[in-house]
């Protein structure tokens, strides 16, 4: 029997995880990560970012070059802890000669589930993943989606406290994805911790409580989706197309801003301070940056009150406002921002082999 | 939990074997060979196959008992050819994929993420590979015991030793196959490299056998020449004494000359065979020492012969000119007068010398050094398996 682990609110609490493969590929570079209990945590990153390597370290498949911290209160690499851990690897490969039921039987035995518990649990899991009718058929007859479903079932056979699902929706049709999301939500409701690795950002966004973005072996962002997107929203105003009767928005904004500045600074404060041009951006007197692109004006604020003076100024100059749209960045936006080199504006090279540091984001 | 995990891995291995056509094909042929074996019979009239008597086997049948006949053919063909060559190759083909398949991405992850140590996983998987051979050999040997019991009239339960012996033999090769499988992760490469290694062991063993045969032959000829020289010296003394005592007959002088020529020839042969023996001995020792570091596949299988066929039974199966000691007797040349006959001497024939030399090699040497090699190879394989990232 596994001895009870010291209680912690964290299912995963790791620091300075480093992995350098023998081929000198530096896959992970000092990962610090925490995952709370009963949390659905999503790890996203481009191909070769080190997502699977990190999960493999946590499940003892890969040996870290350096690793501090704990999984379920036990040091990383503690084999008996795996009795309470479930894992679906990316591209799980099951022997063709086994049936779905036999795979679950085997997984139950390997994780130390008693025969009587396995007999009860296997039909339940087959039902949950929708494979009851296929349980006695050999894996060779399964579609990829079916294999994923059986893979998820085997990951849950030991009623784990912590489940790692590496690309669980890979090769699964939309109905299957919905079912897998439902399973993940069910696990969360049962108080399990789910660690999801996925390329499919929308999948993560729908089910994850917290996410981390991994780029070139480093965690560049980590937090709840709210935390990560906070203060990154903007309001976009689209004006009527430009013609001779309607001056360029840049000029409009500049003049509006100056006007606003003069209106809001009765003390005679210098307008160059309150509405100064910062490169190609402007800053409203209330402090929000403004970007202008042709007939679109983007104000970096989620506060509607901040844009009212600007709207008034635009309307006072007879500008026709075609649309006004508040925008909150999606996970994809965050992801794309994380994988873009801020100096060149190009995507960072995939993989983890480069020694060039990845950009550090906020909300660590 | 350890037992449950081990049982699960073995159950999976059984299912895998069950799914492999080659397993059933091999088993089918094993049963077919036992059935064919049961069709033979032997009695005073000769050797029979079903209702037919094989021509020219009367004398052969007169020398051996039915039990010896069946044991010998089981040993020579059933084990010597079928189990240690054909079935072994089929077993290697069937089991070579166990580790490469296990190490495939997506498969090894499922095992390593379970609460089982890598070393235990490795050893259990290795043992599942031996399961293939254990089942095949078990079925074959039980069939053979039944045939020998029913047709030969002797229940030879000691033949069950064939199961661990053939398993030991297979384990030498399978350890190599496992190492190559882990290193290359390729079934076909592991299989081919194992066959190459096997051929190397076979070559080393053949070299040893050839050198041993040359050594036995040279020893036989040397001993024969020495006896001949000794008898001729004795004869020369007698003939010389006759001449000295004036009791020589008409042919005494010529007999003395012939004896002297024979002595010279014998002395020359002694020198020649001694040179051969001196030349072969260092090579024989070197090969013997080299063999000590490698698995002795043929000698391991031959252990069964030691236990199932004693020397008398083995001699009974040999042609008369090869099984009996060779008599060295100068009297056949007609030299002696009554009361002067030189005592005949016996010299052991080369093939019996070779067999005795092989049987004199201790089991500890045959199995101990082979298992030492296997253990070393397995230790390397286990180390790589345990330390590698997947």
Q: How confident is the model at residue A244 (pLDDT cuts 50, 70, 90)?
A: low
pLDDT of residue B339: 64
pLDDT of residue A278: 37
Searching chain B, which residue's CA lies closest to the CA of residue A140?
Answer: B19
Residue of B110, B119, B388 to mutate when probing chain A, most A C-beta within 10 A: B110
Q: Which residues of B touch A96 (CB under 8 A)?
A: 19
pLDDT of residue A171: 81
Mean pLDDT on A192-199:
91
Taking CB atoms and an 8 Å limit, are A109 and B390 in contact across chains? no
Which candidate from B16, B106, B117 shows the least CB-CB separation from A89? B106
- State whether residue A56 sits within 8 Å of chain B by CB: yes
pLDDT of residue A286: 76
- State whether residue A63 sits within 8 Å of chain B by CB: yes
Asked whether the predicted pLDDT for residue A360 surpasses 50, the reply is: no
- pLDDT digits over B22-31, tens only? 888 989 999 9
Asked whether the predicted pLDDT for residue B390 surpasses 60, the reply is: yes
Asked whether the predicted pLDDT for residue A320 surpasses 90, the reply is: no
Chain A: give the shortest CA distance to residue B33, in Å: 29
Question: Which position has the higher pLDDT, B359 or B308?
Answer: B359
Asked whether the predicted pLDDT for residue A234 surpasses 60, the reply is: yes
Taking CB atoms and an 8 Å limit, are A112 and B390 in contact across chains? no
The H or E element spanning position A85 is strand A85-88
- State whether residue B5 sits within 8 Å of chain A by CB: yes
Q: How confident is the model at residue A315 (pLDDT cuts 50, 70, 90)?
A: confident
Searching chain B, which residue's CA lies closest to the CA of residue A81?
Answer: B115
Taking CB atoms and an 8 Å limit, are A82 and B389 in contact across chains? no
Distance separating alpha carbons of residues B41 and B23, to the nearest angstrom: 30
Asked whether the predicted pLDDT for residue A275 surpasses 50, the reply is: no
Please give the ipTM for the structure prediction: 0.78
Residue of B99, B103, B386, B389 to mutate when probing chain A, most A C-beta within 10 A: B389
Taking CB atoms and an 8 Å limit, are A59 and B109 in contact across chains? yes
pLDDT of residue A2: 46
Taking CB atoms and an 8 Å limit, are B116 and A79 in contact across chains? yes
Question: Which of A172-186, B54-68, B181-195, B335-349 tops mean pLDDT?
Answer: B181-195
- pLDDT digits over A9-40, tens only? 899 999 999 999 887 789 999 999 999 999 99
Chain A: give the shortest CA distance to residue B25, in Å: 17
pLDDT of residue B177: 97
Q: How confident is the model at residue B266 (pLDDT cuts 50, 70, 90)?
A: very high
Which candidate from A79, A90, A164 shows the least CB-CB separation from B115? A79
Q: Which residues of B touch A55 (CB under 8 A)?
A: none
Asked whether the predicted pLDDT for residue B215 surpasses 90, the reply is: yes
| Average pLDDT value over all residues in chain A | 83
Distance separating alpha carbons of residues B109 and B104, to the nearest angstrom: 9
Asked whether the predicted pLDDT for residue B349 surpasses 90, the reply is: no
Among residues of chain B, what percentage have pLDDT more than 70?
Answer: 96
Question: Which position has the higher pLDDT, B332 or A102?
Answer: A102
pLDDT of residue B242: 84
Searching chain A, which residue's CA lies closest to the CA of residue B104?
Answer: A93
Kindly report the three-state secondary structure assignment for every residue of chain B: CHHHHHHHHHHHHHHHHHHCHHHHHHHHHHHHHHHHHHCEEEECCEEEECCEECCCCHHHHHHCCHHHHHHHHHHHHHHHHHHHHHHHHHHHHHHCCHHHHHHCCCCHHHHHCCCCCHHHHHHHHHHHHHHHHHHHHHHHHHHHHHHHHHHHCCCCHHHHHHHHHHHHHHHHHHHHHHHHHHHHCCHHHHHHHHHHHHHHHHHHHHHHHHHHHHHHHHHHHHHHHHHHHHHHHHHHHHHHHHHHCCCCCCCHHHHHHHHHHHHHHHHHHHHHHHHHHHHHHHHHHHHHHHHHCCCCHHHHHHHHHHHHCCHHHHHHCCCHHHHCCEEECHHHHCCCCCCCCCCCEEECCHHHHHHHHHHHCCHHHHHHHHHHHHHHHHHHHHHHHHHCCC
pLDDT of residue B189: 97
- pLDDT digits over B131-176, tens only? 888 988 999 999 999 999 998 888 989 889 989 999 999 999 999 9
Which candidate from B1, B7, B108 shows the least CB-CB separation from A112? B1
Taking CB atoms and an 8 Å limit, are B113 and A59 in contact across chains? yes
């Amino acid at each position: 029997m596994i001895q009870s682990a010291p209680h912690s609110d964290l299912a995963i609490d790791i620091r300075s995880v480093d992995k350098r493969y023998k081929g000198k590929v530096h896959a992970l570079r000092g990962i610090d990560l925490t995952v709370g209990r009963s949390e659905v945590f999503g790890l996203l990153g481009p191909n070769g970012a080190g997502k699977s390597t990190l999960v493999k370290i946590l499940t003892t498949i890969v040996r870290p070059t350096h690793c501090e911290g704990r999984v379920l209160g036990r040091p990383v690499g503690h084999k008996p802890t795996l009795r309470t851990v479930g894992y679906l690897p990316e591209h799980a490969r099951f022997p063709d000669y086994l049936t779905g039921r036999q795979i679950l039987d085997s997984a139950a035995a390997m994780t130390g589930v008693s025969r009587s518990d396995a007999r009860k649990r296997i039909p339940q899991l087959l039902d949950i993943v929708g494979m009851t009718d296929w349980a006695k058929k050999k894996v060779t007859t399964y579609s990829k989606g079916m294999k994923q479903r059986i893979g998820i079932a085997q990951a849950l056979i030991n009623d784990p406290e912590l489940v790692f699902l590496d690309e669980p929706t890979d090769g699964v049709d939309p109905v299957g994805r919905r079912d897998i999301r439902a399973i993940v939500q069910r696990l969360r409701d049962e108080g399990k911790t789910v660690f999801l690795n996925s390329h499919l950002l929308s999948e993560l966004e729908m089910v994850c409580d917290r996410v981390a973005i991994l780029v070139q072996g480093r965690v560049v962002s980590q937090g709840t989706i709210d935390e990560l997107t906070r203060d990154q929203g903007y309001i976009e105003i689209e004006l009527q197309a430009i013609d001779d009767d309607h001056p360029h928005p840049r000029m409009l904004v500049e003049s509006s801003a100056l006007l606003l500045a003069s209106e809001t600074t009765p003390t005679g404060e210098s307008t160059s301070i309150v509405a100064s041009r910062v490169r190609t951006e402007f800053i409203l007197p209330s402090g929000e940056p403004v970007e202008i692109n042709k007939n679109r004006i983007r104000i970096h604020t989620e506060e509607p009150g901040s844009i009212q003076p600007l709207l008034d100024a635009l309307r006072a100059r007879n500008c026709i406002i075609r649309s006004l749209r508040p925008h909150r960045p999606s996970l994809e936006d965050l992801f794309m921002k994380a994988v873009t080199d801020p100096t060149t504006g190009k995507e960072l090279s995939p993989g983890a082999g480069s020694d060039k540091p990845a950009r550090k984001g906020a909300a660590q | 939990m350890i037992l449950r995990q081990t049982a699960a891995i073995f159950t999976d291995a059984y299912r895998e074997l069950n799914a492999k056509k080659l397993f059933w094909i091999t088993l089918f042929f094993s049963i077919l060979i036992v059935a064919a074996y049961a069709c033979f019979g032997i009695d005073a009239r000769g050797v029979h196959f079903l209702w037919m008597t094989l021509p020219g086997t009367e004398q052969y049948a007169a020398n051996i008992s039915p039990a010896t006949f069946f044991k010998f053919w089981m040993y020579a063909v059933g084990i010597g050819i079928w189990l240690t060559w054909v079935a072994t190759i089929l077993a290697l083909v069937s089991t070579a994929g166990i580790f490469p398949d296990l190490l495939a991405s997506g498969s090894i992850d499922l095992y390593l993420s379970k609460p089982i140590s890598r070393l235990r996983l490795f050893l259990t998987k290795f043992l599942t590979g031996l399961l293939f051979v254990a089942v095949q050999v078990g079925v074959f040997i039980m069939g053979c015991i039944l045939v020998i019991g029913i047709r030969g009239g002797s229940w030879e339960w000691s033949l069950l030793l064939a199961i661990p012996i053939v398993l030991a033999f297979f384990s030498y090769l399978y350890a190599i196959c496992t190492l190559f499988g882990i290193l290359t992760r390729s079934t076909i490469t592991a299989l081919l490299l194992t066959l190459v290694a096997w051929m190397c062991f076979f070559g080393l063993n053949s070299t040893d056998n050839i050198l041993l045969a040359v050594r036995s032959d040279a020893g036989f000829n040397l001993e024969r020449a020495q006896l001949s020289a000794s008898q001729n010296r004795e004869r020369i003394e007698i003939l010389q004494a006759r001449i000295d005592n004036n009791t020589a007959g008409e042919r005494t002088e010529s007999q003395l000359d012939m004896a002297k020529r024979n002595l010279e020839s014998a002395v020359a042969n002694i020198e020649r065979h001694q040179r051969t023996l001196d030349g072969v001995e260092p090579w024989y020792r070197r090969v013997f020492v080299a063999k000590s570091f490698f698995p002795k596949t043929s000698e391991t299988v031959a252990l069964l012969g030691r236990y199932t066929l004693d020397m008398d039974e083995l001699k009974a199966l040999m042609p008369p000119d090869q099984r009996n000691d060779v008599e060295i007797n100068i009297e056949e040349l007609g030299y002696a007068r009554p009361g002067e006959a030189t005592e005949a001497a016996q010299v052991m024939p080369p093939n019996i010398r070779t067999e005795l030399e092989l049987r004199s090699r201790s089991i500890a040497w045959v199995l101990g050094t082979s298992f030492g090699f296997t253990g070393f190879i397995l230790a390397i394989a286990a180390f790589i398996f345990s330390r590698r990232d997947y």
